[in-house]
A and B are shown apart, each in its own frame.
Chain A
Amino acid sequence: MRTDAIEQPPPPGKPDVTSVAYEIPREHYLNRDYGWKSWLFTLDHKRIAILYLFSITFMFFLGGMAATLIRLNLITPNSHLLRPQTYNKMFSAHGIIMVFFFLIPSIPAVFGNFLVPMMLGAKDLAFPKLNLLSWYLYMLGSLIGIGAVTFGGVDTGWTFYAPLSTQYAYGNVAITIVGAFLAGFSSILTGLNFIVTIHKMRAPGLTWFRLPLFIWSMYATSIIQVLGTPVLAITLLALFAERVFHLGIFDPKMGGDPILMQHLFWFYSHPAVYIMVLPSMAVVSEVIACFSRRPVFGYRFVAFSSLAIAVIGFLVWGHHMFSTTQSPYASMIFSFLSFLVAIPSGIKVFNWTATLYKGSIRLTTPMLYCLGFIGLFAVGGLTGMHLAAVASDIHLTDTYFIVAHFHYIMVGGATMGYMAAMHFWWPKITGRMYNESLGRAAAILLFVGFNLTFFPQFIAGYEGMPRRYATYAPEYQFLNIMSSAGASILAVAFLLPFIYLIWSLKRGPIAGPNPWRATGLEWQTASPPPWYNFDVVPIVTQGPYAYSPEADELADAQADMTRAQVEYELTRREIEGHHQKEDSTRGV
């Protein structure tokens, strides 16, 4: 075989067929034991991450199907496809599934679970049983949730505003609430597990400022999960009690206050946005450093900006209520704080950009996703300024401007980060490489399709198209058709990785322990990793991201040269062999 001749490791950022020089290790976490029991009762954080990966992907496609129906229905202004009732159920299902069952668990539960112990040099999370329990809670919650939104449906939107949800809405509101409650519990346990693990399970020498930025961001995320989610839990319990027993807690006719419900709900649900996007920032910090081949610029600023986002993020919930009868002075303060939360996000974006300076940049698939993330997150964050300004928000709130804004954060931000993580750590998780060209194509398609889908919605929103409308005024049709056209590209961009990643499981080239030549602890062990992550306990003596662009350029050039020589040699031999063969046939 020609590949046998190549001993040179593959150049960083350029995994190709030559890497089959590596072998999948004999025993790793995936093949250690078999059978459904070994999965459903596993306490290994990596296997639990895989369980999450499967369930979350399933949820993502369910939510995506609801989105497809929404976009199809909005091609015409008169709701030809769905009845308004069905349309309402569709966008509620889309919101509930995507927020509670996909976005919130996505990166923490899959990649956090897989990577946090490995990046810390630990054998597992601090509480493996709790970790498994949180997966079961998630499964229970999400199955109840999707059962409720598919059979019978819910038409309250994911926000469950009272008194609509408690008295006027039809459908399985109470059951859905139970589902979201259980999923929330799962999220609390995951966050708690991470905090303890990060505090107590770091490898020797791994001080706080030697932690990868991924860990800092996950830490900030976990704080929000642990402190915010219980408030959602009690809100959902109160809603449940109100819906079932009609106690009047949020019913103005009985002396209750519907705005109390909004306060409690957004006290969690605004920070929840940061639960979704902080983990993506975690991924971006890792990927940008690796593919610029240099340390993240301003490490401490990026680390502390994560914490700043988590803290200030708790104080801005009132900006969802500018158009209610909230006191104008309260609105003013919430507006001020909402403007402030932009600053740490800005610091991150600038520092990532500065990381590119004097780097040696490789535009691999994960890198493309991350650059896309920075662009889209910047647009999402900057349009957030329009919404933090009270005067400006009053026209824009509850229109498609909001829809576009939060999709830029949640799809352009959170989901792009998720895809970047998927591609970056795929070789670590599975031991195999995917098709790089298809990967890049999908990343670019996602960027293009996303902008085509959601940018027109900014315009529609400014022009006053309210959200959650099954039918709409005909003047918005052009923008909606653009949106739906973009959504079809988006659908392809999400299906494509699904196909080539699965394909790579069997046919992908073997990646080796460190195909990207990255410096994180997780890359210092085999791919897929062994049961306890490390054959030897690592000791850390320096900070993360010990990359050197200059050295890499040099190594690259040498590797290229070697490769050219090898190619040349192989071709030469092939031709020779061919000649010999021809000669011998001729001879016979």
Chain B
Amino acid sequence: MFNLIPFLLEEASENAGRYDALFFGITAITGVFAVIVAVAIIALTLRYRRGQKVDRSNAPLYGLTIEIIWTAVPLVAVMGMFVWSTTLFFSNKKEPANALQVYVVGKQWMWKIQHPEGRWEMNELHIPLNQPIKLTMTSEDVIHSFFIPAFRLKQDVFPGQYSTMWFKPTKAGTYNLFCAEFCGTNHSGMVGTVTVMPPADYQRWLSTGTYQPSIAAQGEKLFRQFGCSGCHGAAASVRAPLLDGIYGNPVAVQIPRGDVPLERVPATTLTADDRYIHDSILLPEREIAAGFKPIMPTYKDRLNEEQILQIIAYLKSLGRSNGTSNGGASTDKTSEMSPSDYKARVGFTPANLPTITKNLKRNSPAANNAPAASLPGGGTPGKVTPNRNTPTTTPGNRGTNR
């Protein structure tokens, strides 16, 4: 009648084994303390209960040595656990470069999941075995949380932000997928399954079922349909940055400030990641490609989160940075412009153009492998751009820079 599962939950991802080691490690350490306390209480209570003929003379009132011991020993123990867990946490933050990108949109009360090749599914996630998967997630309404117990992973999903998580499934099978953050009436119905299948099966699966044009192709359609290409296309008359090959590369932006006109704002470099493109579409006024006028309208009420993801996929397909695309035609033009070019085009020159250019050149080739290298380089550090840019270079960090 009951499905009596064993107490050991299946370990189906690379992370799960390490997680369980930590979990049971902590359980063991804390268990030792629990047992000591329990045994001490029971033993002392039995030995010294009323009427027992035992020596009660000179009961100590305090003992500095013993106090220090039972302060220091737990302190060492908790610091050990802290170091162990924090090391694991940060090592998990480093996502592999070859991760398969899957997009997830949560809404009350379902998960909509889209694979790069265009196949989409509802409340189900099919993934190939032994292939690192990176999920980029957002929500259309309230806060959700994407939770796969067998992978020992969970990530809250916020409206208006991207959050990411990655994992490498190591065991074929079907696992539970839950929404873990209470999201309203049918919260407990926001569940699904994750199916890990051998790569060959996965390829077969991809080619069947609900099939849409590839996600990038849909994005391209939207890119034309909503007039993006009118400005950002190669033949555009309006001055706007070309977007070919921009994805994953550093871009120079100016972040407007309250007290200084735009042309005096020093530029800074960011990585053009999902967050950046998402925000550029919805909040174009926030980070302005250096040297361009802030004329792009917002697409806030015109594109939904799914469509934005499709556009991002399209931009990505325009030449994901491989280190060489940067110098080609598909480069962010800002990095090549001379000060006079800038002035001719937009009427002013950012105060620190040489610095930006230098930074861009230095950072570009390495941008993908060493995210830390693209920390804000432009401007005067500390003064101009508070660390609002750093999060973008730290995977899994706060998705948006507002």
Question: Are A and B direct contacts in the complex by CB distance below 8 Å?
Answer: yes
Interface residues of A (CB under 8 A from B): 13, 79, 84-85, 88, 155-157, 159, 161, 163-164, 167-170, 252-253, 255, 257-259, 292, 294-295, 297-301, 323-328, 331-332, 335-336, 339-340, 342-343, 346-347, 349-351, 353-354, 356-363, 371, 374-375, 378-379, 382-383, 385-386, 388-392, 394-395, 397-399, 459, 462-464, 466-475, 477-478, 481, 549-550, 553, 556
> What residues of A have a CB within 8 angstroms of the CB of B183 in the complex?
164
- A363-B49 in contact (CB<8A): yes
> What residues of B have a CB within 8 angstroms of the CB of A323 in the complex?
145, 154-156, 180
- A342-B142 in contact (CB<8A): no
- A390-B89 in contact (CB<8A): yes
- A356-B78 in contact (CB<8A): no
Partner of A395, one of B55, B154, B156, B179: B154
B399 at the interface (CB under 8 A from A): yes
CA distance A349 to B37 in the complex (A): 8
- B48-A361 in contact (CB<8A): yes
Partner of A328, one of B34, B40, B59, B397: B397
> What residues of A have a CB within 8 angstroms of the CB of B55 in the complex?
358
CA distance A397 to B26 in the complex (A): 16
**Chain A interface: which of B69-77, B266-274, B371-379?**
B69-77
- B3-A477 in contact (CB<8A): yes
> What residues of B have a CB within 8 angstroms of the CB of A349 in the complex?
37
CA distance A469 to B184 in the complex (A): 10
CA distance A354 to B66 in the complex (A): 10
What are 14 A-B interface contacts by the 8 Å CB criterion? Answer: A252-B159, A253-B160, A294-B59, A328-B397, A346-B70, A357-B59, A359-B56, A388-B81, A389-B82, A391-B85, A392-B23, A477-B3, A478-B3, A556-B51
Name the distance in Å between A262's Cβ and chain B's nearest Cβ. 9
> What residues of B have a CB within 8 angstroms of the CB of A360 in the complex?
48-50, 56
**Chain A interface: which of B4-12, B125-133, B244-252?**
B4-12
Closest B-chain residue to A256, C-beta based? Answer: B160
Partner of A378, one of B33, B145, B398: B33
> What residues of B have a CB within 8 angstroms of the CB of A399 in the complex?
149, 180
CA distance A455 to B249 in the complex (A): 50
B153 at the interface (CB under 8 A from A): yes
- B5-A463 in contact (CB<8A): yes
Contact A361 to B45, CB < 8 A, known contacts A339-B79, A395-B149, A553-B56 = yes
> What residues of B have a CB within 8 angstroms of the CB of A297 in the complex?
60-63
- B143-A161 in contact (CB<8A): yes
Closest A-chain residue to B87, C-beta based? Answer: A391
Name the distance in Å between A299's Cβ and chain B's nearest Cβ. 7
- B397-A327 in contact (CB<8A): yes
CA distance A361 to B22 in the complex (A): 39
Number of interface residues, chain B, beta carbon within 8 A: 93
- B62-A553 in contact (CB<8A): no
Name the distance in Å between B124's Cβ and chain A's nearest Cβ. 15
**Chain A interface: which of B185-193, B336-344, B358-366?**
B185-193
B14 at the interface (CB under 8 A from A): no
Which among B30, B56, B75, B93 has the greatest number of chain A C-beta atoms within 10 A? B56
- A335-B86 in contact (CB<8A): yes
> What residues of B have a CB within 8 angstroms of the CB of A88 in the complex?
182, 184-185, 187
Task: Encode contact with A along B165-187: 1 for CB under 8 Å, 0 otherwise.
Answer: 00000000000101111111111
Contact A328 to B89, CB < 8 A, known contacts A382-B34, A468-B182 = yes
> What residues of A have a CB within 8 angstroms of the CB of B85 in the complex?
335, 389-392
Closest B-chain residue to A161, C-beta based? Answer: B143
CA distance A155 to B182 in the complex (A): 10
SS class of chain B's interface: helix, strand, loop or mixed?
A: mixed
Closest B-chain residue to A545, C-beta based? Answer: B61
CA distance A332 to B176 in the complex (A): 29
- A361-B145 in contact (CB<8A): no
Partner of B19, one of A167, A294, A391, A398: A391
CA distance A477 to B51 in the complex (A): 47
> What residues of B have a CB within 8 angstroms of the CB of A390 in the complex?
85-86, 89
- Other CB < 8 Å A-B pairs besides A340-B78, A399-B180, A462-B7, 7 of them? A298-B63, A335-B82, A356-B40, A357-B60, A361-B50, A385-B30, A462-B9
- A299-B62 in contact (CB<8A): yes
Closest B-chain residue to A381, C-beta based? Answer: B30
Contact A169 to B184, CB < 8 A, known contacts A252-B161, A347-B67 = yes
Closest B-chain residue to A345, C-beta based? Answer: B74
CA distance A294 to B50 in the complex (A): 12
CA distance A327 to B145 in the complex (A): 17
> What residues of A have a CB within 8 angstroms of the CB of B394 in the complex?
327-328
CA distance A349 to B163 in the complex (A): 40
CA distance A399 to B397 in the complex (A): 22
Task: Encode contact with A along B133-157: 1 for CB under 8 Å, 0 otherwise.
Answer: 0000000011101010110111110
> What residues of A have a CB within 8 angstroms of the CB of B9 in the complex?
462-464
B323 at the interface (CB under 8 A from A): no
- B33-A327 in contact (CB<8A): no
- B185-A475 in contact (CB<8A): no
- A371-B71 in contact (CB<8A): no
Contact A469 to B149, CB < 8 A, known contacts A342-B74, A358-B56, A399-B180 = no
> What residues of A have a CB within 8 angstroms of the CB of B295 in the complex?
none
Name the distance in Å between B48's Cβ and chain A's nearest Cβ. 5
Name the distance in Å between A144's Cβ and chain B's nearest Cβ. 23
Closest A-chain residue to B142, C-beta based? Answer: A164
Closest 10 CB pairs of A and B: A464-B149, A252-B160, A389-B85, A382-B30, A358-B59, A469-B188, A356-B44, A325-B398, A398-B180, A391-B89
CA distance A357 to B58 in the complex (A): 11
- A361-B49 in contact (CB<8A): yes
B234 at the interface (CB under 8 A from A): no
CA distance A342 to B70 in the complex (A): 12
> What residues of A have a CB within 8 angstroms of the CB of B56 in the complex?
358-360, 549-550, 553
